């Protein structure tokens, strides 16, 4: 299935080094089988994350040269603030250095011990920041998301019935409802406009805040525009309409900001904004840069304009669908349908000979590196602990970075692994930190 050709020409490139298999095995051992510790020059195709890995456009690079690095109220801040207001339609803009900084600030402003929050699915850092405040977080995806292999639309929806029930059960302990767009932990699947609106209405009726994690809101809006609104409105308007449903939204601009860093919180609530700004000064920096340089704010300001382009989004979503389709052809079990930023492999099924407590996802991550120098990430028991049901491996596609031949190489590597799956073993953890263990833990293959 072809997809629209790259809507850009290559002007500057970053050469890819290809190591031998024995060099890759050595690199794996040296990294204690944790792919986060493999030096990037030893990686052939890096599908670890789509976060902060986007290629910049020539316009972003040239605008960067205008970076105003004065401490307060710089020209870059003015351009950033205007672009964020234009993108979101919100009046109050609070800058932060990346998404989890926003999560930390929101957690401190809105959550206390024993509070409860609900989501279609919380991303790992979001959950960790909220739980760090002593709150409890509930993921309530819909039934249609449970069957990974069924290609149902809008599997990123929240289960409204269960949400009502849980809100009733937790009463005053319930603090807010959060929609992650797209639902990263749940397979990069979009939520429908109708579902986001419904979740917002349910929260409002209970007097709770409705929050949007907008990291990939442009990709989510593309699916809404294509399938729900049948291309009637513009993608830019769909995005603004989504933001308008929220009381508060935050965005890591390392994703749909088409930038290598940064983020923001937005709201129309002046008194909430004032509270968030106090915490921003404490943790991030002055309220007109929030931990970002002027140059970074310039790339984001421009990136937020570029990301709403339908040609860009058709290519982006087309790339994911291509990789998804080619892997489906060779019977790799995946989450269906393809989502917005990544292909998710059902590693529990693919490596069915490896039990859950031996991390089949991590075994596949290690195998992909060993056989092809491909870096991916486990989203299963290693990352999420006991809350995880499916053992997934995410192949996240950096924006504007790879072309079709790179994806064909990934498919060839899967073919190699598929030929003799039983040779790959499970893992055990030899050391782990107290939180977010997947980033730094050490592992050992089980003999
Ligand atoms: C859905 C979602 N929310 C929040 C974050 C956190 O953003 P950051 O990595 O900028 O801290 C991420 C990062 O991948 C994410 O995917």
pLDDT one-digit tens code per residue, 261-291: 999 999 999 999 999 999 999 999 999 999 9
Which spans in 235-373 are helix H?
Answer: 235-244, 270-283, 294-306, 310-329, 347-350, 360-372
Task: Indicate which residue's Cα is closest to atom 7 of ligand 1.
Answer: 99
- DSSP string of 332-369, one letter each residue: --B-SS--SSEEEEEHHHHTTTS-GGG-HHHHHHHHHH
Instruction: Give yes or no for residue 186 CB within 6 A of ligand 1.
Output: no
Instruction: Give yes or no for residue 180 CB within 6 A of ligand 1.
Output: yes
Looking at every residue in the chain, the average pLDDT score rounds to 96
Counting ligand 1 atoms within 8 A of each CB, the residue from 128, 252, 283 with the most, and so the one to mutate, is: 252
Pairing of strands 427-431, 263-267: unpaired
- DSSP string of 15-68, one letter each residue: PPP---HHHHHHHHHHTTT-GGGS-GGG-SEE-S-SSS-PPPPHHHHHHHTT--
pLDDT band at 124 (very low <50, low <70, confident <90, very high): confident
Instruction: Give yes or no for residue 98 CB within 6 A of ligand 1.
Output: yes
pLDDT band at 387 (very low <50, low <70, confident <90, very high): low
Counting ligand 1 atoms within 8 A of each CB, the residue from 120, 121, 178, 184 with the most, and so the one to mutate, is: 184
Instruction: Give yes or no for residue 125 CB within 6 A of ligand 1.
Output: yes
- The pLDDT score that the predictor gives to residue 1 is 64
- State the distance from the centre of ligand 1 to the C-alpha of 317, rounded, in angstroms: 19
Instruction: Give yes or no for residue 121 CB within 6 A of ligand 1.
Output: no
Instruction: Give yes or no for residue 51 CB within 6 A of ligand 1.
Output: yes
Cα–Cα nearest to 337, from 349, 329, 325: 325
Instruction: Give yes or no for residue 99 CB within 6 A of ligand 1.
Output: yes
- DSSP string of 119-174, one letter each residue: ES---HHHHHHHHHTT-EEEE-B-GGGTSTTS--S-TT-B-HHHHHHHHHHHGGGE
- The pLDDT score that the predictor gives to residue 51 is 97
User: Other C-beta atoms within 10 Å of 62: how many?
Assistant: 12
The answer to whether 103 touches 141, Cβ cutoff 8 Å, is: no
Rounded Cα–Cα distance for residues 113 and 127 (Å): 14
The answer to whether 313 touches 321, Cβ cutoff 8 Å, is: no
Burial per residue of 344-360, b for 16 or more beta-carbon CB atoms within 10 angstroms, e otherwise: bbbbbebbeebeeebbb
- State the distance from the centre of ligand 1 to the C-alpha of 137, rounded, in angstroms: 16
Averaged pLDDT, 310-324: 97
Averaged pLDDT, 9-38: 97
Instruction: Report which ligand 1 atom has the smallest distance to the Cα of 101.
Output: 11
Query: 209: alpha, beta or left, given left = phi > 0 and alpha = psi -120 to 50?
Result: beta
Task: Indicate which residue's Cα is closest to atom 14 of ligand 1.
Answer: 51
Three-class secondary structure of residue 264 per DSSP: strand
Name residues whose C-beta falls within 8 Å of residue 22's C-beta, 6 or more positions apart in sequence: none
- Of 111 and 4, more confident: 111
Instruction: Report which ligand 1 atom has the smallest distance to the Cα of 182.
Output: 1
Cα–Cα nearest to 99, from 14, 206, 203, 216: 216
Rounded Cα–Cα distance for residues 374 and 396 (Å): 11
Q: Which two tokens stand for residue 209?
A: 């805040």
Q: Which two tokens stand for residue 347?
A: 């590693």
User: Other C-beta atoms within 10 Å of 170: how many?
Assistant: 17
Q: Which two tokens stand for residue 371?
A: 């056989």
Longest alpha-carbon distance in the chain? 60
- State the distance from the centre of ligand 1 to the C-alpha of 264, rounded, in angstroms: 12
Handedness of CA 103, 104, 107, 110 (dihedral sign): negative
Task: Indicate which residue's Cα is closest to atom 15 of ligand 1.
Answer: 123
The answer to whether 15 touches 41, Cβ cutoff 8 Å, is: no
- The pLDDT score that the predictor gives to residue 388 is 60
Rounded percentage of the chain residues whose pLDDT exceeds 90: 95
Task: Indicate which residue's Cα is closest to atom 9 of ligand 1.
Answer: 99
- State the distance from the centre of ligand 1 to the C-alpha of 99, rounded, in angstroms: 5
- State the distance from the centre of ligand 1 to the C-alpha of 30, rounded, in angstroms: 28
Three-class secondary structure of residue 116 per DSSP: strand
Reported pTM: 0.96
Task: Indicate which residue's Cα is closest to atom 2 of ligand 1.
Answer: 123
pLDDT digits (tens, 9 = 90+) for 178-211: 999 999 888 899 999 999 999 999 999 999 999 9
- Of 383 and 93, more confident: 93
What's the alpha-carbon Rg for the chain, to the nearest Å?
Answer: 21
């Amino acid at each position: 299935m072809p997809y629209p050709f790259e809507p850009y020409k290559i002007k500057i490139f970053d050469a890819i080094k290809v190591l031998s298999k024995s060099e890759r095995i050595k690199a794996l051992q040296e990294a204690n089988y944790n792919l986060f510790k493999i030096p990037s020059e030893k990686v052939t195709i890096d599908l670890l994350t789509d976060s902060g890995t986007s290629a910049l456009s020539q316009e972003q690079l040239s605008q960067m040269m205008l970076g105003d690095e004065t401490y307060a109220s710089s020209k870059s801040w003015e351009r950033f603030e205007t672009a964020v207001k234009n993108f979101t339609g919100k009046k109050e803009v609070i800058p932060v250095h990346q998404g989890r900084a926003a999560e930390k600030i929101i957690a401190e402003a809105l959550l206390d011990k024993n509070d409860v929050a609900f989501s279609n699915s919380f991303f790992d850092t979001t959950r960790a920041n909220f739980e760090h405040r002593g709150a409890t977080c509930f993921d309530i995806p819909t039934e249609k998301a449970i069957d990974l292999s069924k290609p149902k639309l809008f599997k990123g929806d929240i289960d409204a019935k269960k949400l009502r029930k849980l809100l009733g059960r937790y009463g005053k302990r319930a603090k807010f409802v959060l929609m992650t767009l797209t639902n990263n932990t749940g397979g990069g699947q979009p939520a429908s406009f109708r579902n986001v609106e419904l979740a917002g209405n349910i929260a409002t009726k209970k007097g709770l805040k409705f929050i949007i994690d907008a990291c990939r809101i442009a990709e989510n809006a593309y699916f809404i525009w294509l399938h729900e609104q049948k291309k009637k409105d513009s993608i830019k308007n769909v995005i603004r309409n989504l933001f308008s449903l929220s009381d508060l939204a935050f965005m890591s601009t390392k994703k749909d900001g088409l930038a290598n860093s940064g983020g923001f919180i937005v709201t129309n609530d002046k008194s909430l904004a004032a509270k968030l700004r106090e915490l921003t000064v404490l943790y991030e920096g002055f309220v007109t840069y929030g931990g970002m340089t002027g140059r970074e704010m310039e790339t984001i300001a421009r990136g937020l304009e570029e990301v709403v382009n339908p040609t860009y989004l058709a290519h982006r979503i087309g790339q994911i669908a291509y990789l998804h389709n080619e892997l489906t052809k060779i019977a790799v079990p995946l989450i269906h349908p393809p989502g917005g930023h990544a292909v998710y492999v059902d590693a529990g099924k693919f490596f069915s000979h490896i039990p859950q407590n031996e991390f089949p996802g991590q075994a596949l991550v290690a195998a992909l590196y060993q056989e092809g120098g491909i870096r991916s990430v486990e989203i299963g028991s290693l990352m999420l602990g006991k809350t995880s049901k499916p053992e997934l491996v995410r192949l996240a596609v950096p924006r504007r970075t790879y072309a079709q031949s790179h994806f064909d190489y990934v498919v060839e590597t899967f073919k190699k692994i598929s030929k003799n799956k039983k040779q790959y073993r499970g893992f055990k953890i030899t050391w782990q930190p107290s939180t977010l263990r997947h980033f730094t833990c050490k592992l050992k293959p089980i003999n």
